[in-house]
Amino acid sequence: MEPHAMLRTLAFVTAAMVAGTASAAPARFAERTVDVHGKTYRYQVFIPADVKKHPAVVLFLHGSGERGSDNQKQMTQGLPPWLKEHMDFPAVVVIPQAPDDTEWTDPADADYAMASLEKSVKEFNGDRKRLYLTGLSMGGYGSWQLAADHPDTFAAAAIICGGITTLGDDEDRQLFVHGAPEGTDPFTWVAQKIGKTPVWIFHGGDDHTVPTEQSRKMNAALVKRGAEVKYSEYAGVNHGSWQRAYAEPTLWTWMFAHTR
């Protein structure tokens, strides 16, 4: 082979190697923003290594202790810490942060969560048949809200220590699933609204923050409707049942087995 031909071949191989290396980006978390109703919100996204075309996309809603505006506290509990130990996770994960003194069941926060999901689906060309929902505590309430409000969006949901009805007598809190007509049973109403969305419910059997009865009643309402529902109650576990839930070895196999 002539010298100039060898140089061309070497340049081609080198360029191909560089291109291949560049495309194999490592898994990472990245900050994003979305504008909703004239307000800019910040959120995080977990991006899998060398993200594939049309990936599955998971929306995660945190609990009340992670509210704020730093776009960091929502990374400290639940799914994000689990992801940091499982960076081979194959799906995009959207991780919004609710502002202080708000609830995921507030219409504004619910719209923001869905907007961050929609923007991520567009950015990563996500598979709309494989969108998944999960949340804990306040985020469990929010997950029931979104599942009821958007019954044709999610392929499956994993809802941890959440609930449907209000806790205590604080009238300023909006932590209950909105929309149930007066005089109707809210658990039955949510089960009807969710329709065919498969749900895996988790709760600690000794939860002193969100009573376990919230999930028991929601499970019973879904069973009565003949819905696809799994229920895991951890005996003796208080509110932090998300650690056990996200460590369930079959959770993601079950979730990703479902498509719209």
- Read off the pLDDT of residues 76-120 as tens digits, 9 standing for 90 and up: 999 999 999 999 999 999 999 999 999 999 999 999 999 999 999
The pLDDT of residue 50 is: 85
In sequence order, the 6+-apart residues with CB closer than 8 A to the CB of 3 are: none
Q: Does 56 map to a domain?
A: yes
- Give the whole-angstrom CA distance, residue 132 versus residue 111: 16
Q: Does 182 map to a domain?
A: yes
Residue 250, Ramachandran bin (φ over 0: left; ψ between -120 and 50: alpha; else beta): alpha
Q: Does 67 map to a domain?
A: yes
CATH of the domain at 98: 3.40.50.1820
How many Cβ atoms are within 10 Å of 10's Cβ, its own excluded? 10
Count of domains in the chain? 1
The answer to whether residue 141 scores a pLDDT higher than 60 is yes
Sheet holding 57-61, edge to edge: 28-36, 39-47, 92-96, 57-61, 131-136, 156-160, 199-204, 229-234
The answer to whether residue 51 scores a pLDDT higher than 90 is no
Q: Does 14 map to a domain?
A: no
Q: Does 16 map to a domain?
A: no
CA quadruple 144, 149, 150, 152: dihedral positive or negative?
A: positive
Q: Does 10 map to a domain?
A: no
Domain interval for residue 206:
24-256
Model confidence pTM above 0.75: yes
Q: Does 162 map to a domain?
A: yes
Q: Does 59 map to a domain?
A: yes
- Which residue, 221, 163, 220, 227, is CA-closest to 195? 227
Summarize pLDDT for 219-254 with one digit per residue, the tens.
Answer: 999 999 999 999 999 999 999 999 999 999 999 999
